[in-house]
Each structure stands twice: as C-alpha cells, then as structure tokens.
Structure 1
Amino acid sequence: MKVLVTGASGNVGRYVAHELLQMGEQVVAAGTDIEKLHDLFEDEAEQVILDFTDSMTYKKALHDVDRVFLMRPPHLGKPKDLFPFIDAMKQNHIRFVSFLSLMGVEKNSLPPHHKIEKYIESAGIPYGHIRPGFFMQNISGVHAAEIKERNQIFIPAGRSKTSFIDAEDIGLAVATILHEPDKYQNTAYTITGPEALDYYQIADILTKVTGRRIIYTKPGFLRYRNYYVKKRDLHKAYVNVTVALYFMTRLGTAKEVTIDFIKLTGKQPRSFEAFARKHINCFI
C-alpha cells in the first residue's frame, strides 16, 4: 500500500516524501499545486490534488493509501478545518497517521495543533505524533526578507530560547515512523535540534556566516503583527497563529532539548550554524 504525504511541496512534506522514497515506499505526493508537485517529484511519486477545504478531493487522495503524513497548512488557522479529512481517513480505514504537531502542545491548548491531536486520537486512528521545535526554515523562509533587506531579525520572541530543528531532520523522523507503523502505534515524539538558542545568538551566528552585522530587533507582538499583515501582506490567520506560537515561546515552552530524534533515527540533528552555512543563499 501507499503513503499519502500532505503538503508534499512544503518545507517538511518534501523531505518526508524523499525519505520514504529512499526507504522503498510508494508515495502519493499531495498538495494544491499539481505543477509544483510534478516539478519536485516527476516520475518518482504519484501526484494528486488535495484541498482540505474541498471534500471532493479526498477520495482520490486516499485511494490505495494505508498511511498518511498529515500537516496543517499555515493558512488554515482553525482546527476544525482538518476535521472532515480526519473523518475521511477513519472512513477509509487508514492504518496509521503521523501528524506534524508542535513542541509542548500536550500541555497547551492554545495552538490549533492541540485540538487536531485530540481529534485524531478520539477518531481511533493509530497515530504517531511528531512534535518538533521551531523550524530552522522559518528563519531562512518567512523571516529571511528582513535579514536580507535590513540585516534584522524581526521576531517577537523576546529573550526566550528555542531548540530549532532542521525540517530535513523532521522529514527523516516522520518517515521513520511511517515506514514502521506497527512499532510506533499511538506514540508521540518531541524532536529538537542539539541546542537551545535565543535570537541574539541566532543573529551572531548569521553575522559570522554572512560576514554582515545582523541584529535582533526584539519587536513587540502588536508591532510584529501589524508589520506582517500590513507591510508583508500575509494572511491574518497565519500571522495570528505565529503570534500565539511566539507567545508560547516567551513562556519558555520552546527551549527544551530532547534526544528523541537520536532515538528514532540513530543520527545527530543538524546545528543552526551548519544549517545556515548549507542555506547561505537564503540570507545573502
């Protein structure tokens, strides 16, 4: 049977799909942009349109599938947006689902990931939640514009520390449990990078790697939200979720360093400095 990878053209999904293919699995790469999926996977994986807001796309996506990597698209801020698809997974007798959750959500009901985890569990679908720390790709992605254009990190995390993890490492961890679902039934793993850093330290690392002086401006929540909604023109629901996550970060929920990634994969997670050097073009 096949493995459905939702968000297969995104930061994590593409790595999940790649690792599964390396393990010899048949992969169905799902997303809303079929051309982008074809460019990424060509003949390596089947490609299918999947829109969580359109139940008409569910049947084809779940055809001949017994395992699913499920991730919440950033623009869908409400947990109930994913509930119909979870119901469809149950109706299609999905054997195992790995949900891309968030570090610390088992103790915090504020982010949408908490309710999604609970809904999967209540549906009775065997699961393996992966709860990563903040993606390093958030810095090289959505937050890279200010770094490149203004030499600034514009993130409302205060002086809190975060155990950043590379999305490539997340992809390997997810693929590992999807490849052996019986071994990981009804489990949850919190995976992090090798160290917890504050954004002043991130700025110092980027200064070292780029050769430019990068500073952390430590904006407040309102200033950050107004800037990303009005200046960057990002979707309000997405920005609101990030505000909630950075609020959690300030409470110290993102600083834990775990060895779960090592236990799952037998490998060491990538450091932020190694990540920044590998993805230097994102910052210059």
Structure 2
Amino acid sequence: MTVAVTGASGQLGRLVVEELLRAGVTPVAIVRDPEKVADLAARGVDVRPADYDDAAALDRALSGVDRVLLISGTEFGARVTQHTNVIRAAERAGVELLAYTSIPKADQNSMILAQEHRGTEAALAESTVPHVLLRNGWYWENYLGGLAHAIESGVLHGAAGAGRVAGASRADYAAAAAAVLTTDGHAGAVYELGGDERLTYAELAQVISEAAGKQVRYEDLSEAQYAAVLEGAGLPGPYAAALADSDTGIVAGLLDVDSGDLQKLIGRSSTPAAEVFRAALA
C-alpha cells in the first residue's frame, strides 16, 4: 500500500509522515520544495515535487498512490480550486481513498475559515474518489503566537465570551490522520475531531498562568475590537478579521466538539493544553 501526504513539509504534514514511519509505512511526501524535506528523503521517504496549481505535477506525484492525505492549503481564496486540482488528480490516478483535513461542522459552520472547507467538501461529494473527512478542531498550538504577549502583559485577549474550544495538539490530529490512512473501513466517514478539554478562554488563561508561573487573565472584547488588536499586532487585516470571526464562532459553539472521534482513532486521550504550552515555553 502506497500512502501519500500533501503539504508534507508543513507542520502537520511532517507529523503525519513521522506517524506513518512509526507505523511501518514509508510514505510519499508531496511538497513544493523538495529541499525542505531533504532529511526525510535521506530516511528513505519518496519525495515528489508538486504544486496544488500544477495538474501535471499532481498527476506525477499521485502515480501509483493508493491512499492520500490532502492537507488544506494556506492560500486563502484559492484553496477550493487548488484542492479540486488534487481531487481530480486523485481520480485520474485511481486513488482508493482520499482523506481531507477540514473544519468542525463544515457543512453548517458559518466561520470565514470554514467557507473554503465547505467548498472542498462539496467538490469531494461530486467526485468519484472514495473519501473521508477529517474535520480537525482547533490546535492548542494556534495560541502559541500570542503566548509571549499574554504572559508579558498578563492579559489574554479574545472575543470568545464563554464559548468553549475542544482543542488538541497538532500531533493528536496527525496521529488520527495516520490511523485513517493505515487502516480500513473509513471511506464515506465524517470524523468530527476535538480534544478532551473543552475550555473557555477564561479557563485557557488559567492554564497559561499555571504553565508560565505568572497570572494571566482573560479580557473579552467585541469581534471588531479583537480584530483591531490583532491587526495592531501586525497581522494583515483580512487574516485578523478571520481570526476574530473565529472567536465569534466559538461563542456559537462551532469549535466545541464532543464526538469522541479523535480519541477513538488515536486510542488515547488528547494532549492537554498545559503540556503544549509548557513545551513551547521550555
């Protein structure tokens, strides 16, 4: 069985490759720049260059592949077209299973970040390739970018109110993807993936406090206020708006996942937020 991982040079992709290697599967790593994964090639990983915009390169990359993980791209606004290119290449290659990293409740999720996931899921529904949806919840690592500022200032800003986030570590989601790629019976499945901890931002601030050994409190803002804070911290306006909108989605319960799917796939509890934060601070 040949298993391919797209975006294998990225943070999630590398972790999935490592999980597959631990499972005894030597994967195909599909990347834009092979030099970024020279270390994987040195370990025997089959590295194939391809860009989501290059149909011919995707055909070459998926040649002989049985199963593929399509990790969602990062070019917002272009992702549905790019993902569809991979789906079409998978159809031409006769791939037996395509797993896609989506977002919780994508078919009904009103968040800005969900729109292209919903479009990709629609493209998969219309395709002939058997597929499985990995609707990954929030990564605790999503909060690392603002961790130092929160600790230094003593304030975690957000617009999530009393909404809850069922987060997990990036490694947890990678383990789930690897499990799906290396076992049978997943075609047609929709996995809503979220961690054991379902934290409000006030509780998240307390976890940060304990990890840092310094008190951090949560300050709840309006969506517009929070977007302004993010933009003031240097984020591009559209991205700041999307993140603030995601907090509004948290208020609506869109990232509060209690399905247990993640735990069933990985065979254990998810990684606590405190562990992720302590590792980052170390």
How far the C-alpha of 1:158 sits from its partner, in A, is: 2.6
* Alignment of structure 1 residues 243-282 onto 2, 5 Å: 243-281=244-282
Instruction: Indicate the larger mover: 170-179 or 156-165.
Output: 156-165
Following the alignment from structure 1 to structure 2, what is the Cα–Cα distance between the partners of residues 235 and 30?
A: 31
Aligned twin of 1:3: 3
Instruction: Indicate the larger mover: 44-53 or 89-98.
Output: 44-53
Identity %: 24
Q: Secondary structure at the match of 1:98?
A: strand
Following the alignment from structure 1 to structure 2, what is the Cα–Cα distance between the partners of residues 160 and 70?
A: 30
Aligned twin of 1:74: 74
1:195-214 CA deviation, whole Å, 9 max, x = no partner? Answer: 21011111111111111222
Aligned twin of 1:108: 109
1:123 equivalent among 127, 131, 142: 127
Q: 1:245 to 1:31 in 2, by over 3 A?
A: farther
2:176 equivalent among 173, 194, 198: 173
* Alignment of structure 1 residues 235-246 onto 2, 5 Å: 236=238, 238-246=239-247
Q: May I ask how many residue pairs the two structures share in their alignment?
A: 278
How far the C-alpha of 1:229 sits from its partner, in A, is: 4.4
Instruction: Give the root-mean-square deviation of aligned CA atoms.
Output: 2.4
Following the alignment from structure 2 to structure 1, what is the Cα–Cα distance between the partners of residues 254 and 240?
A: 19
Following the alignment from structure 1 to structure 2, what is the Cα–Cα distance between the partners of residues 15 and 75?
A: 21
**Residues 151 and 209 in structure 2, CA contact (< 8 A), matched pair in contact too:** no
How far the C-alpha of 1:233 sits from its partner, in A, is: 4.0
The residue type paired with residue 61 of structure 1 is: A
Aligned twin of 2:188: 186
How far the C-alpha of 1:127 sits from its partner, in A, is: 1.1
Alignment TM-score, normalising by the size of structure 2 = 0.87
Alignment TM-score, normalising by the size of structure 1 = 0.87
Q: 1:148 to 1:100 in 2, by over 3 A?
A: same
**Residues 194 and 260 in structure 2, CA contact (< 8 A), matched pair in contact too:** yes
Q: Secondary structure at the match of 1:147?
A: helix
Structure 2's unaligned 5+ residue stretches are none
Structure 1's unaligned 5+ residue stretches are none
1:36-84 CA deviation, whole Å, 9 max, x = no partner? Answer: 2224664242223332133343133213222111121233334233222
1:159-206 CA deviation, whole Å, 9 max, x = no partner? Answer: 2111111111111111111112x3111101112111210111111111
* Alignment of structure 1 residues 1-284 onto 2, 5 Å: 1-39=1-39, 42-78=42-78, 79-108=80-109, 111=114, 112-140=116-144, 142-144=145-147, 146-147=149-150, 150-180=153-183, 182-229=184-231, 231-234=233-236, 236=238, 238-281=239-282
Q: 1:193 to 1:93 in 2, by over 3 A?
A: same
1:210-252 CA deviation, whole Å, 9 max, x = no partner? Answer: 112223233333333344446424473x445434433321211
The residue type paired with residue 29 of structure 2 is: A
Following the alignment from structure 1 to structure 2, what is the Cα–Cα distance between the partners of residues 32 and 154?
A: 35
Q: Secondary structure at the match of 1:105?
A: coil
Q: Secondary structure at the match of 2:135?
A: strand
**Residues 128 and 184 in structure 1, CA contact (< 8 A), matched pair in contact too:** yes
Q: Secondary structure at the match of 1:58?
A: helix
**Residues 164 and 198 in structure 2, CA contact (< 8 A), matched pair in contact too:** yes
Q: 1:41 to 1:146 in 2, by over 3 A?
A: farther
